[in-house]
Amino acid sequence: MAQHPFPIETVAIALGDRSYDIQIGAGLLARPETWAGLPKAQAAMIVTNDTVAPLYEAQLRTALAPHYKQIHTVVLPDGEAHKDWQTLNLIFDALLARGCDRKTVLFALGGGVIGDMTGFAAASYMRGVPFVQVPTTLLSQVDSSVGGKTAINHPLGKNMIGAFYQPVRVVCDLDTLKTLPERELSAGLAEVIKYGPIADMDFLAWIEAHIGALMAREPAALAHAVKRSCEIKAWVVGQDEREAGLRAILNFGHTFGHAVEAGLGFGVWLHGEAVGCGMVMAAELSQRLGKVDAGFVTRLKALIERAGLPVRGPVLHASDNAGDYIAHMRLDKKAVGGDIQFVVINGPGQAAVQGAPDAVVRDVIDACCA
């Protein structure tokens, strides 16, 4: 086999005996070295959805064939609406029907929903089997495949039931992003942009300079964006695996974004779209709390807009929109005893978690909703 022209980048996630590598590169699915050294087992189970399966399932199956005697596949319905117990149980049904033992390796082939559900299934099946993330969306490559958060939704709340459970490897094949719908590419960029204001203003400047290349899906630009995002997230998660403190800064834009998603009904706006306008609101809040200047807010807003994302929040309630936002935010998992916790920018490249006076939050919402 000829040398592949595009290098493989690796980000090491250091979590003691739960450490693992993220591999980033073009054409990884087809490269034999990608799949070397995984845990030995009789059987592998590919978990994917009905959108991704026709695109990449055969390729992954071929790649895994030298390593596992049996390769099973379970195809779930696509979409956040199916991130529930009923769908999760399809994975358990398949594992048990095929007599899969506690060494079976699960492969999550798809976006964040597939990753979350496969991860929770792996955490829970026989109290834990190994799993590999093969994220095929930008969002899952830069965010949900790093950090070991797995979950399903409950009718009364998103991601309410889950586990902290680390994969044994993450394989980010940039070629899989070629088939990503435009809207999902933008949604992924929201999480890429996020890492700038909370941790690395040089990276923010790099994104501003390369937003065109990213929107055009140029592999070199995507590789750097994915790698740097994973590095920053790894640095944060490495210090706070179970979200006792620092890790919460990764939720920049997510508190307001959560209200958008919950208020409109989950799935109406993509998560990344809600985070897009949520970051504008969180930046606006930071400014009103005297932590950043107006120029910072304008700059961030312009980049979010160039990434094809909404910069204004939707109106959730005709007469008391701010009240509706606040009510949703109080129910957020991150609220403590009913007090909403916001990630604010303490200064460019530095974030902190804190409460804020209701009146200020109301002003922000009033100023930022269309």
Question: How many Cβ atoms sit within 10 Å of the Cβ of residue 14?
Answer: 11
Integer Cα distance of 326 and 255 in angstroms: 10
Is 154 a residue that touches a copy of itself (CB under 8 A)?
yes
Count the residues in the chain.
370
Least Å distance, CB 93 to a copy of itself, is 7
Is 235 a binding residue for a copy of itself by CB under 8 A? The answer is no
Among residues 106, 92, 120, which one has the least CA distance to residue 60? 106
Binding test (CB under 8 A) with a copy of itself, winner from 160, 209, 294, 315: 160
Whichever of 101 and 358 has its CB closer to a copy of itself, that residue is 101
* Residues 174 and 185 sit within 8 Å (Cβ to Cβ): no
Interface mask (CB under 8 A) for a copy of itself, residues 84-113, using x and -? -x---x--xx--xx-x-xxx----------
Question: Catalytic: which of 72, 149, 291, 299?
Answer: 149
Choose, by CB under 8 A, the member of 161, 201, 213, 352 that binds a copy of itself. Answer: 161
Q: Please select the residue that binds a copy of itself; options are 30, 55, 64, 163, rule is CB under 8 A.
A: 163
Q: What angle do CA 198, 204, 210 make, to 5 degrees?
A: 150
Q: What's the CA gap between 195 and 206, in Å, rounded?
A: 12
Place of tokens 């890429």: 192
Alpha-carbon distance of 65 to 80, in angstroms, equals: 30
- Asked if residue 162 binds a copy of itself (CB under 8 A), the reply is yes
- SS3 state at 9: strand
Binding residues for a copy of itself restricted to 9-48, rule: CB under 8 A: 42
Contacting a copy of itself (CB under 8 A), which of 124, 251, 255, 286?
124
Pairing of strands 20-25, 350-354: unpaired
Catalytic hit among 31, 169, 194, 247: 247
Number of residues forming the site for a copy of itself (CB under 8 A): 36
Q: Which of 368, 350, 349 has the alpha carbon at shortest distance from 288?
A: 368
Token pair 């941790």 is found at 199
- Of the residues 4, 61, 210, 243, only one is catalytic, namely 243
User: What's the longest Cα–Cα distance across the chain?
Assistant: 65
CB of 240 to a copy of itself, least distance (A): 13
Q: What is the rounded (10 degree) CA torsion for 249, 250, 253, 259?
A: -100
Q: Is 241 a catalytic residue?
A: no
Q: Is 258 a catalytic residue?
A: yes
Taking the complex as a whole, how short is the minimal distance between the CB of residue 11 and a copy of itself, in angstroms?
23
User: Reading across the β-sheet that carries 70-76, which strands appear in turn?
Assistant: 9-13, 20-25, 169-173, 131-135, 105-110, 43-49, 70-76
233 is catalytic: yes
DSSP, collapsed to helix, strand or coil, labels residue 131 as strand
Is 284 assigned a catalytic role?
no
The one among 32, 54, 77, 157 contacting a copy of itself by CB under 8 A: 157
45 vs 193, beta carbon nearer a copy of itself: 45
Report whether 118 belongs to an annotated binding site.
no
153 classed as catalytic: no
Name the one range near a copy of itself by CB under 8 A: 54-62, 145-153, 195-203, 293-301.
145-153
Residue 242 among the catalytic residues: no
Cα 332 to Cα 97: distance, rounded to the nearest angstrom: 37
For a copy of itself, which is the closer residue by CB, 27 or 238?
A: 238
Tokens 């991601």 locate to: 159
Based on C-alpha coordinates, what's the Rg of the chain?
A: 20
Q: The tokens of 337 are what?
A: 């005893």
Contact residues for a copy of itself, defined by CB under 8 A: 42, 85, 89, 92-93, 96-97, 99, 101-103, 123-128, 149-151, 154, 156-157, 160-164, 242-243, 331, 333, 335-338
Binding site for NAD(+): what residues are annotated? 78-83, 112-116, 136-137, 149, 158, 176-179
Q: So which residues are the catalytic ones?
A: 127, 149, 191, 233, 243, 247, 251, 254, 258, 271
